Amino acid sequence: MVWDELEREEVSNIEKTIRQGFQTWFRNLMLRNNTDEEMVDDDIFSLACGPDLRIKKYKSCIVNGVRFNTLDRDKNKKTQNSGVMSLGTHNSELIEFYGNIKEIIQIDYNGDDRSVVLFKCDWYKLDGRNALKDDGFYKSINVGSLWYKDDSLILATQARKVFYLPDTRFVKTSVPFNGPAYQEEYCCDDQEEGIIRTVVDEPTTEMPLNRDDEPGQMFEASEISRLRKERPTLVCQSECEDGDEVFDDTLEEYCSEEDGDALLEVDSDDE
């Protein structure tokens, strides 16, 4: 619709005009249509009115049980939760963008439960001869250069968690590894008790847990009993001999980052 109007007005650069003026055009259109005879949907009208100029920033966001942190929060921690990957278009080609989260931002719109959570990221430059090396098994990224500094925002639901390991073959390079894929989000801040939560519906597929393509194997009860008796018993030595419990504190650190009890439910349709 807006494209047709600009063509009738013989605007020279339609794409640039839309980028700069679409928000104003969309708001005016909804205001004209929001009459007693024809009411505009509340969600569409709130979107057309634009967001609140006051934003909220958080240091951490949990998406389907997967924690995302800002890069500053990850400093001096054993766990790494600020790496992200997101699909995007570069030179008309769909590629994987890799980077780190700099800010976690919540934008609110008119009405209750209408908000959007964004990640502002530093994206590593992937074009150029030495920017990206892919041997078919691992990708090695030059982390010394950034790009898309003026287009750094993505929806939190568009992010896929990754973590980076140093690549000893090259200078200033890291190898990204994918993290968990399922996403459901809420955000938390060390200074605030509030937690934003967004539920994202994920399609599920039922899979059988038994095989029916070959006959099963039968075992005598006496054989099962014998195998149970022969099962080895694990004995903790050295560190545990004095009664001291030995455990990996990485999980404890990960869980201890939870802050606050209050939950603010956010409809996933808003994003």
pLDDT one-digit tens code per residue, 31-53: 887 776 567 788 888 888 888 88
Which of 61, 97, 79, 65 lies closest to 180, judged by CA? 65
Looking at residue 20, the DSSP 8-state letter turns out to be: H
pLDDT digits (tens, 9 = 90+) for 55-97: 999 999 887 778 899 999 998 888 889 999 999 999 989 999 9
Measured distance CA(131)–CA(95) in Å, rounded: 14
Contact between 98 and 88 (Cβ < 8 Å): no
pTM given for the model: 0.62
Q: Which residue has the higher pLDDT, 105 or 181?
A: 105
The DSSP-derived string for 153-181 is: EEEGGG-EEEEEEE-TTSTTEEEEEE---
Q: Are strands 263-266 and 83-90 parallel, antiparallel or unpaired?
A: unpaired
Top pLDDT among 266 and 152 is at: 152
How many helical (H) and strand (E) elements, i.e. helices and strands, does the chain have? 6, 15
The Cα-based distances of 100 to 61, 143, 261 in angstroms read: 13, 10, 27
Tell me how far apart the alpha carbons of residues 231 and 17 are, in angstroms, rounded to a whole number.
Answer: 73
Q: What is the mean pLDDT of residues 149-169?
A: 88
